[in-house]
Structure 1
Amino acid sequence: MEKAQLTKANSLFSTSVRAIDTVSKGIGGALIALVSATSLFVVDSVTFAVAAVLFLGVSVPKSGETSESDETERERSDGRERDVEAASDGGTKTGDERDDDGPDGSPQESDGGPSESSRETDGGAVESYLSELRDGIDYVRGSALVPIIFSAMVINFGFMAADAVLPAFAESLGGPDAYGVLLAAIGAGTFVGSAGAFLVEERSVSRVTIVGYPIAGVTLAGAVTVPGTWPTAALLFATAVFPGTFNVMVFTLVQSAVDESLLGRVSSLVKGATSIMAPTGALFGGTMGGYVGTETVLYLFGAALPLFGLYFLAHPALRSLPPAGRPTRSPSACEPSGRRSVGARSRGRLAVL
């Protein structure tokens, strides 16, 4: 896919996920009101079973394997190359012995044989995984992706803390019915934010973040303050819009700047680093909610959101983030100084994020 289309592609992908999330949360809230929360866990287990059955029909080739169409195209390409060589310098004809033939004249296997991963033992696979993880960490070290990951981790921590106290907060508004409405509002907000991310793809990520998170903090504080379920839901909807946009912008930046050979490792690193904060944030929110009250936890998170905007304003690398939809500068002009890591030769674009 062309890098210029990454923002729209990520927006569409995230929008489809958020659409299902929004509908599911609305249905979940209605089911809580109708059949109780305990019965909802039974419904949830059934959906997991259905998902497991669907995954049984998914076939993913092992690393190093190629499809039949790829093999056919490769054979055609090799045949054309040999024909050109024979016609230009009088070399061997197609099918004759070549330099890469074995001692008995049979062609040696180059890239069609067993992949290295298929020959690894379990211990070797673990060692390979750890090595690749270190490569991913070494690749992002010294780049602007480090403070981006840090900010995303803290933000995810705060959102999970707020999510942990949301049921108790909804209880003060009207119980399960109110909780379903609030969940649907948050899901709808992230849906709108993800769907509209392409509208700001030509604007600096830093500028959008500097403006977006303070607004989210104000609307969250307002949601806690105003009385009534529907006004609260409307403000929570507004609070969730920018995080939906921010997620699309960040992943678009990563995909457009990271070298393709390490994109999977770096994406896994980003996802893992942010996801690890989810249980910690939920534990913190639930514990603090029991001591200081649910509203206080939400107020604290609302007060923290503008600080992320200030963090992007104060950090030199974050302040100079390019637009998510605009190609980054060439690697040669952005080489990190003083460090030559595994990915340093090809990660110049990452250094300007």
Structure 2
Amino acid sequence: MNIIKNRSFFFLLLGRIVTNIGDSIYYVAAMWLVYSLGGNAFYSGLAGFLTLLPVALRFIVGPFVDRWQIKRTLIITQILQSILILVIPIFYYLDILTVQVVLIVMPIVSFIEQFAYPSQSKALPLLLSKEDLVKGNAYFSFAYQGIDLVFNALSGILVALIGAVTLYLVDSFTFAIAAICFSLIKLPSAKESKNKNNAGIKCAMVSYFSELREGFSIVFRSILGTFLIGSVVANFAIGGALAVLPAFASQNGGSEIYGFYLAAMSTGGLVGALLSSWMGKLKVGYFSIISFSFSALCWILAAIMPWPTLGAIFYGIAWIPIGGTNVIVASAIQTVVPNEVLGRVNSVSGSMGTIAMPIGSLAGGYFATVTSSTLIFALTGLGLLFLSIVWILHPRLRTLPIAKDLTPELFGIDPVKYSVKENIN
């Protein structure tokens, strides 16, 4: 069956594509506008911190998403974002726009966005059969990566041609279109959640934090905890790099260079994900050590290269191993962690890793104001080298076999313990 012929899925996918376009345009325009209004990298670092923090705390919205009507949530989130985005051009034309206004609007829009993506994912199994879910998720993934690739570069060029404020008007329009697309979805009435349980949210939160504690226990009593230490440092560095990128691009050509570097990042990550099947045939330990070191080298070359275009190419190459190892490590965790506790383990590793990015963004923005943005951008590449060193120093990480030979025992996890516990409950 061609799932695109499924009318509701088509409008869900179309809405997601339009939303992703809006997100890409918004992020590039907002970061550049903050840098332009503030005049230094500290403000872009603060903007990155405020925008990324809601992403790191996405788990908080889960109980609400589970209890609110999916279609209504999707429509309302897009309308709210469309209205909020309009604040920027309105204030600009009234000549009262300041960097503080943008810094207030950015995290609010980002927080609202955290309700949209989980709701889209929740709608997917309601619209497709179990056999079509993999194909549906593939469409979603390709839409996400592809839109990032195209519009990160295009938005940077458009900022140079028509200005960031005008892009905000375009962005508001895209969110309005997405709301219309979501309004055309028809979800099965019997499955559209209308849970009115008065204690539902409270019980969900109590249950969540109980499971989260167990997730911490599993992660930090296995070698996943050691890997997470390296991952936190790497994400801290990536957050710093994204914060100083507008200042770095400004010194090397302008907003179009900013767009090129963002597009290179998306391209590298996408290529790495596509090559992950081949990478998975290599020993995970040795491949991770070599690939992270190679990425760090390319990253530093991207920062010091006197030709911006060539620098963007090196930056994209640096993200190829990152994209591949992200897929391999995610698959490894799915293989070695019992399914009964996989959700809470992913919550711990995801939240702990991601929360380092906004902190890194804030730090990167600050240090770029007291020294060179080029120096800070180059130093962030060392975060990947640190990750490689962690793998070198840990004998069990260093000697991990190819992906298909990974077992829970190699990671220090007892699969029987958690499976039995879940069965008793």
TM-score (norm: length of structure 2): 0.59
- Are the counterparts in 1 of residues 239 and 364 from structure 2 also a CA contact under 8 Å? yes
Q: What is the identity, as a one-letter code, of the residue corresponding to 2:158?
A: L
Moved more, 148-157 or 37-46: 37-46
1:329 aligns with 2:404: no
The superposition leaves residues 85-116 of structure 1 with CA deviations (integer Å, 9 ceiling, x where unpaired) of xxxxxxxxxxxxxxxxxxxxxxxxxxxxxxx9
- Counterpart CA distance in 2 for 1:317 and 1:282 is 32
Q: What is the identity, as a one-letter code, of the residue corresponding to 2:171?
A: D
- Are the counterparts in 1 of residues 340 and 419 from structure 2 also a CA contact under 8 Å? no
Give, in angstroms, the shift of residue 334 of structure 1: 7.4
- Are the counterparts in 1 of residues 400 and 406 from structure 2 also a CA contact under 8 Å? no
- Alignment partner, residue 252 of structure 1: 331
- Counterpart CA distance in 1 for 2:343 and 2:296 is 33
- Are the counterparts in 1 of residues 230 and 386 from structure 2 also a CA contact under 8 Å? no
The superposition leaves residues 250-309 of structure 1 with CA deviations (integer Å, 9 ceiling, x where unpaired) of 111111111112222222222222221121111111011111121111221223432321
- Counterpart CA distance in 2 for 1:147 and 1:10 is 31
Give, in angstroms, the shift of residue 165 of structure 1: 0.6
- Are the counterparts in 2 of residues 162 and 298 from structure 1 also a CA contact under 8 Å? yes
Q: What is the identity, as a one-letter code, of the residue corresponding to 2:418?
A: G
The superposition leaves residues 195-218 of structure 1 with CA deviations (integer Å, 9 ceiling, x where unpaired) of 111111121222111111111121
Correspondences of 1:30-69 after superposition (within 5 Å): 30-51=157-178, 54=181
1:275 aligns with 2:354: yes
Q: What is the identity, as a one-letter code, of the residue corresponding to 1:343?
A: Y
- Alignment partner, residue 343 of structure 1: 418
Correspondences of 1:122-271 after superposition (within 5 Å): 122-271=201-350
Give, in angstroms, the shift of residue 244 of structure 1: 0.9
Q: What is the identity, as a one-letter code, of the residue corresponding to 1:26?
A: A
Residues 46, 255 of structure 1: CA spacing in aligned structure 2 closer, same or farther, 3 A cutoff? farther
Residues 133, 51 of structure 1: CA spacing in aligned structure 2 closer, same or farther, 3 A cutoff? farther
- Counterpart CA distance in 2 for 1:257 and 1:238 is 30
Identify the structure with the greater helix proportion.
2
- Are the counterparts in 2 of residues 165 and 294 from structure 1 also a CA contact under 8 Å? yes
Q: What is the identity, as a one-letter code, of the residue corresponding to 1:302?
A: G
Q: What is the identity, as a one-letter code, of the residue corresponding to 1:187?
A: S
Where 2:146 maps in the other structure, the secondary structure is helix
- Alignment partner, residue 146 of structure 2: 19
- Alignment partner, residue 5 of structure 1: none
- Alignment partner, residue 301 of structure 1: 380
- Counterpart CA distance in 1 for 2:339 and 2:377 is 40
Q: What is the identity, as a one-letter code, of the residue corresponding to 2:165?
A: T
Moved more, 32-41 or 204-213: 32-41
- Are the counterparts in 2 of residues 170 and 176 from structure 1 also a CA contact under 8 Å? yes
Q: What is the identity, as a one-letter code, of the residue corresponding to 2:145?
A: R
Residues 135, 307 of structure 1: CA spacing in aligned structure 2 closer, same or farther, 3 A cutoff? closer
- Counterpart CA distance in 2 for 1:274 and 1:61 is 36
The superposition leaves residues 227-270 of structure 1 with CA deviations (integer Å, 9 ceiling, x where unpaired) of 12211111111111111112111111111111112222222222
Q: What is the identity, as a one-letter code, of the residue corresponding to 1:328?
A: L
Correspondences of 1:68-83 after superposition (within 5 Å): none
Give, in angstroms, the shift of residue 322 of structure 1: 3.2
- Are the counterparts in 2 of residues 335 and 344 from structure 1 also a CA contact under 8 Å? no
Give, in angstroms, the shift of residue 316 of structure 1: 2.1
- Counterpart CA distance in 2 for 1:268 and 1:223 is 33
Where 2:407 maps in the other structure, the secondary structure is coil
- Counterpart CA distance in 2 for 1:320 and 1:217 is 21
Where 1:343 maps in the other structure, the secondary structure is helix
Where 2:218 maps in the other structure, the secondary structure is helix
- Counterpart CA distance in 1 for 2:158 and 2:227 is 38
- Counterpart CA distance in 2 for 1:61 and 1:137 is 37
Give, in angstroms, the shift of residue 317 of structure 1: 2.7
Q: Which runs of 5+ in 2 are unaligned?
A: 1-135
Moved more, 139-148 or 190-199: 139-148
TM-score (norm: length of structure 1): 0.71
Identity of aligned residues (%): 30
- Counterpart CA distance in 1 for 2:393 and 2:369 is 34
- Are the counterparts in 2 of residues 336 and 344 from structure 1 also a CA contact under 8 Å? no
- Are the counterparts in 2 of residues 14 and 248 from structure 1 also a CA contact under 8 Å? no
Q: What is the identity, as a one-letter code, of the residue corresponding to 1:193?
A: G
- Counterpart CA distance in 2 for 1:40 and 1:15 is 24
